[in-house]
Structures are given as C-alpha cells and as structure tokens.
Structure 1
C-alpha cells in the first residue's frame, strides 16, 4: 500500500460507524463544514463524508466536494490522530472554490488534531 493511498480500511463504511462518531464527537467547526471525530482503537484515522442534497443541491457539486475532502484527508492522514472522522457539509459549501475548500480543510484538520490531543491528555 502506498504512503498516501485512500484504501477501504481508511473509510467509515456502515451506518453504525457513523452513529458511533456522532454519539461522542470532538468537533471542529466552520460556517461551511463541521468535522466530528472520535478516538478509535485502530492505528490509523478513518473518514466518512456526508453532504446532504438539501444543503448542496447539485450532484456535481456534492461529488466535487467529496472528492476534495477525500484528497485533503489522504494528504493529511499521517498528521491526524487515530480517530474516526465524519465531515458534514453545511449550506453555502458549494459556493467555495476548490482552493478555498482545500485551505479550509487544512485549518480544520489542524484544529481537530489539537482538540483530539487535548481530549486525550485531559
């Protein structure tokens, strides 16, 4: 497996995985995105993405957003703690350019890493 791949083991696959994160989540929030995380027992982070049709109307926009989130996660996964992560899209997310979304995700990954480190030590 290459260093920066996004294989099946790095994904949240079942509704149970998602519900588990929602129950006791550590949030990292912006006006367009909410990232929720919960520590897992694995040696790597896992990602789930939800972008509702109600929030982002056009399928091509939802697909673009999910593609960018996956790419950002793939590039930043080694800096992230061992957590299950759910990225939730909010209204207005489709107005961001690819560059703005990538920058926003970079900030939120850092914020999330910091908060997860605090919650483990505290």
Structure 2
C-alpha cells in the first residue's frame, strides 16, 4: 500500500492481531490478493538500521506467507521492543500473527 488514503481505510475499521512488540491490522480490500503497509516509527526504533531490519524481516515474512493470507490490506505497526528482538524471534512472532489474521478473517 502506498497512499495515506489506503492506510486510513485500514485504520478506520480493522481486524487486529497484536503482541507487545507488533500489531497487524487487516481489512478486506476487494482484490484477489493481500497488500502490505508498514508503520515503523522512529519513536520506538531510534536508528535507521534497526527500522530497516524490521521492515526487511516483515516484508520477507509477508512474501513467504502471502499465498496463505486472505485478500486483505495489512498494516504492520512496530511498537516498543520490536527492535530488540532477534531476527528469528521476530520471524516467529510474525508467523503467529499471520495465523491469527487468517483465523480472524476467514472465521
């Protein structure tokens, strides 16, 4: 997702999947594929290298799981502590959150 309107649409009435470090918001998009948007604030991850690492891991996790996800717009929001997780911990956490989104959107 690219435009502020697309992000606002998801924020308005979303299905959440949350952990202390990451929140994923999902909303049906009317397309036949999921789309990803990222919100990684400087407030929670100070250094650009940390924000870029989190973005890279989220994108890779989405890429490997996108065929299992329903047709929704997803916004991944990093919260405090997300930059402190190792790559493996972050990947594992995202996997659990993707599964929660699939259950909530399909069931």
TM-score category of the 2 structures, normalised to the smaller one: over 0.9
**Matching of residues 36-51 of structure 1 within 5 Å:** 36-51=25-40
Equivalent in the alignment of 2:67? 78
Larger gyration radius, structure 1 or structure 2: 1
How many angstroms apart in 2 are the aligned matches of 1:99 and 1:116? 26
Q: CA deviation at 1:92?
A: 0.5
Structure 2 unaligned regions, length at least 5? none
Question: How high is the TM-score relative to the length of structure 1?
Answer: 0.87
Q: Kindly report structure 1 stretches of 4+ aligned residues shifted beyond 2 Å.
A: none
Structure 1 unaligned regions, length at least 5? 1-11
Equivalent in the alignment of 1:117? 106
Question: How high is the TM-score relative to the length of structure 2?
Answer: 0.99
Q: CA deviation at 1:59?
A: 0.5
Equivalent in the alignment of 2:86? 97
Q: Deviations over 1:56-88 (max 9, x none)?
A: 111000000000000000000000000000000
